[in-house]
Structure 1
Amino acid sequence: MITNSSAARRARLAGMTASAAAMVVLVSACGGTGGGSTASPKNFSYLSVTENTTVKTALTTLSKGACRTANEDLPLKVETVPQSGLDQKLQLLAGQNALPVQFAAGNAPALTQQLARSGHVADLEKELKKLGVYDQLQPAAVSTIKALYGGKVEVLPYEYNIEGIFYNKRIFTDNDLDVPGTWAELVAASAKLEGKGIQPFSASGQQGWPLTRLISGYLYRSLGPDALQDVADGKAKLTDPQYVKAAQEIADLGRKGYFGKGVGSIDYDTAMNQFLTGKAAMFYMGSWALANIADEKQNTLGADNVGFMPFPAVAGGKGAVDQYPSNVGLGITLGAKSFDSRTGDWVSCITKNYGATALKDQGVISGFKVNGEVKDATAVTGQVRETISSSKRNVLWFEALFSTKATTVSQTNAAGLVNGSLSPQKFMQTVQDALSAK
């Protein structure tokens, strides 16, 4: 079971990784002829980030169990670095042709793609197909990875999160509410709850991204899965009327008081607590929250009283409710030149066994298939796993394709959008200006 602190770290890592996803990284150290890790490695060396203990723990378990044979031939060796220093460390090692066999792939896809172009990253789709284990990756995870990494599988999905709306089943039942299938139904349900003195939504305005992801949710349902790619490609602007409308819809939720009082000062942990103690009926969040939901000390509702629904459909919209915003946390990849037969044995074993090990021991959902019988910690965990297994095409999040500057501008102004101090037009103009800045 994940501890409270590690669950919070994973949640923040997901938010941090999401925020860094479009960061422009200068990788001058990775120039030159395509190097990579040294051939014939002596260890299954793995460079991780200090903040993430999940993968290290699971790999250690596998090295003593299902992957014992692979570990005897190529012993697991883990080194860690603070996430804030990861990019610099990778660039240094790449410049020295000294990257480890496996490594956390940088805070932004841009860095991994640069390393791949320089010959430092293995072609994982090709390698996994050669090993006959490509089918051990969930199709939804593959879709997300390719969306982030230019159509290529450049990382493995040691973590896989989808996002949606968690809701309090008891509150819905007591107030004769069905699960909303459309945006209009969601707004109507919120109005009914507010009228009865029940806060409809819990959200962290202090972090910002839980609010901006409601904007992207509306955009994906109204304009379709390419809505934000079109902005990145210059085919559309956030100031276009249909984009401003999405911001207006979320601003209206705030104007009507549906996020409660003082949303701008609410941090992540407080927002989580509001929902898990029954003070709010709904909570937009990623599946990393399942760890909190399964924790009886945090969740006084009881896990059986928590449900999960997709962001609802928008009338006349081009998107589909089975297109879930998703991410793979901090991606992990493998060096190109150190990918020999012994590395392949490790990778084969990981793809077949990691999913079950991480879920059983730590309650973590990965992008690998879960082989064998593993009991879900809660019914909603099983629901989310089933959703992931059946999903074929997922989408990203509001800032996924933004620059670092635009990401910061978006998230720091989100509270102003919902508390009324910033108009939807001004919010979108401010973010678009940051995107357009050279």
Structure 2
Amino acid sequence: MNRQRRWWPLAGLMACVLGAATGCATSAGSPEAVQGSVSGPIKPRPITWLNSRPSDGPVIKAVAEVAAEYGKSHPGFKLNIVSTPDRPSYLQKVEMLAAAKKLPELFDEDATPFAEKLRKQNRLVDVGNLLEEFGAKDRFRPLALQYQQFDNGDIYGLPLEFAMEYFWYNKEAFQRARLDQPKTLDDFIASCKPLRAKGYIPIALDGKDGWPLERYLAYYPFRLHGNDFVKNLKKGDAKMSDTAGKSGAEFISRLGKAGCFADGFSSAGYTDATDLFTTGKAAMINDGTWDLGLLATDALPKPMRHNVGYFPLPTTPGAVTGPGDYVVSSGIGMAVNSQKFDPLVKDFLKYLVAHYPAKYAAFGQLSPTKDTPTEIPPGATPVYGQVLREADRLGKQTAKPWDTELDPTTNNVVQQNLVLLAQGNMSPREFEKSIDQAVTVNSPRYFAK
């Protein structure tokens, strides 16, 4: 046995004995810190949370309230909240800070290939272990935790949200076009031409941000293969030109040929898309329950207030996922930097886990914890409560968004070429070839064989 290795445990024991008067503290960045096992005195100081969220959104408001309360009993503590809502800019900032080893104590991060690299470098705290130690893990909705899992099942992001994604539709538009809710993905495409004929844009789409259209690419593969296809694709163990990949590419091409999206959709942002739907110009929009305040309250223009319905992701013959399985997310998680993890950060996180859910639910949002009822706001339409009850009827798996699975460079290629595919400027075969080439070149930097 290596003598130096034999000395480390003894040295640690002696340090604890020598430090018995003040308590044996473990250091930030240590293996213990990665497991969330730091100890020692709590010394209040300012810490920072770098995030990619709207600064006036319910997540930030709820976290800020909790931090202010914690600060009252811990003079000297302050949570500096630094927001970069533009996701591409935020991701670039995180990569630069990570390269310079200057990430703050807390930062937003999905369970992406980039985050996997940080995990392998022991730069993230195991949040799953923390929640176990806090006695809080069983409070969380299983799908909220599942969304944060890495491929090995570990959790390195604290869930702060819980949202189901649905297709919201204009009931009057469907009645005028003599359409029922689509039951299959083929029905979904077939609804576009009748809606166009009645003067509606069939689907409002935020084309500028890339990920909304990428959701559509994932739907056929998820129905036919669950999440297995994208998890194999990202490593090069499957190809976009395989049957599963072809089904996704052809779905996008067919949506474009059927005139499902607005002309010029690629330059439309989030607000443009929601405005098209809430003003009655578009018949459908794919959106999450985070937008219930826009879709199911008196914030809607009066003609639309009782004219909004919703349906889940349609299925398809041969589907291996059930009707209750669709995109259910807990949002981008709060990652914890092991290099700056100390007793103060740990104590604040314990306080946050205990007090955040109720404050978040008070904003009319679904909490990531199953024991925290949502406060339905004044002016809510009946749809608000109906959608909240869907949380009790969900399946056992969530469709993982592809933008959190693919390596960053391949994901950029996917999003850029999806627009061309939907516009008819690229064929499905050309699209498949471009993605397979991108995976071959880029995935080895993130996924070791």
- TM bucket by the smaller chain? 0.7 to 0.9
Kept in 2, the 8 Å contact 1:326–1:397? The answer is no
In the superposition, relative to structure 1, how do residues 197 and 238 fare at CA in structure 2: closer, same or farther (>3 Å)?
Answer: same
Q: Does 1:396 align with 2:404?
A: no
1:353, 1:91 → 2: CA distance? 33
Unaligned runs of 5+ in 2: 1-27, 85-89, 443-449
CA distance in 2, matches of 1:184, 1:99: 47
- For residues 221-300 of structure 1, what are the structure 2 equivalents within 5 Å? 221-293=223-295, 296=298, 299=301
1:58 corresponds in structure 2 to 62
1:136-155 aligned within 5 A: 136-146=139-149, 148=150, 150-155=152-157
Name the structure 2 match of 1:358: 360
Cα distance change, pair 170–188 in 1 and its aligned pair in 2 (3 A): same
Going from structure 1 to structure 2, the CA distance change for 1:421 and 1:90 (only over 3 Å counts) comes to closer
- Report what 2:413 is aligned to: 409
Residue 376 of structure 2 is matched in structure 1 by: 375
Partner deviation per Cα, 1:258-300 (whole Å, 9 max, x = no partner): 2243334433322221111111111123333334335755655
> Scaled by the length of structure 2, what TM-score is found?
0.76
Deviation of 1:64 (Å):
5.2
Change (3 A) 1:51 1:424: same
Query: Matches of 1:219 and 1:183 in 2, distance apart?
Result: 11
Whole-Å Cα distance in 2 between the matches of residues 117 and 405 of structure 1?
Answer: 20
Change (3 A) 1:338 1:32: closer
Q: Is the 8 A contact 1:41 1:338 kept in 2?
A: no
Stretch moving more, 40-49 or 119-128: 40-49
CA distance in 1, matches of 2:158, 2:193: 42
Alpha carbons of 1:117 and 1:205: their partners in 2 closer, same or farther (altered >3 Å)? closer
- 8 A contact 1:48–1:81 mirrored in 2: yes
3-state SS, counterpart of residue 227 of structure 1:
helix
State the match for 1:88 in structure 2.
96
Partners of 1:149 and 1:241 in 2: CA distance: 23
Instruction: Quote the Cα distance in structure 1 between the aligned partners of 2:349 and 2:155.
Output: 14
Rounded to whole Å, the distance in 2 between the matches of 1:175 and 1:256 is 15
SS at match of 1:437: helix
Question: Which one has a bigger Cα radius of gyration?
Answer: 2
Please give the alpha-carbon distance, in whole angstroms, between the structure 1 residues aligned to 2:167 and 2:298.
20
In the alignment, the residues of structure 2 paired with residue 260 and residue 317 of structure 1 have an alpha-carbon distance, to the nearest angstrom, of 29
Instruction: Verify: 1:126 aligned to 2:122, yes or no.
Output: no
Partner of 1:135: 138
Aligned to 2:425: 421
Check conservation: 2:159, 2:334, Cα contact below 8 A.
yes
Residue 46 and residue 159 in structure 1: after superposition, are their counterparts in 2 closer, same or farther (change >3 A)?
farther
Matched position secondary structure for 1:395: coil
- Count residues in correspondence: 400
Structure 1 segments unaligned to the other structure (5+ residues) = 1-29
Q: Offset of 1:137 from its aligned partner?
A: 1.4
Percent same amino acid among aligned pairs?
Answer: 24
Structure 1 CA distance, aligned partners of 2:30 and 2:339? 15
Question: Take 2:328 and 2:374, find their aligned partners in 1: how far apart are those partners?
Answer: 25
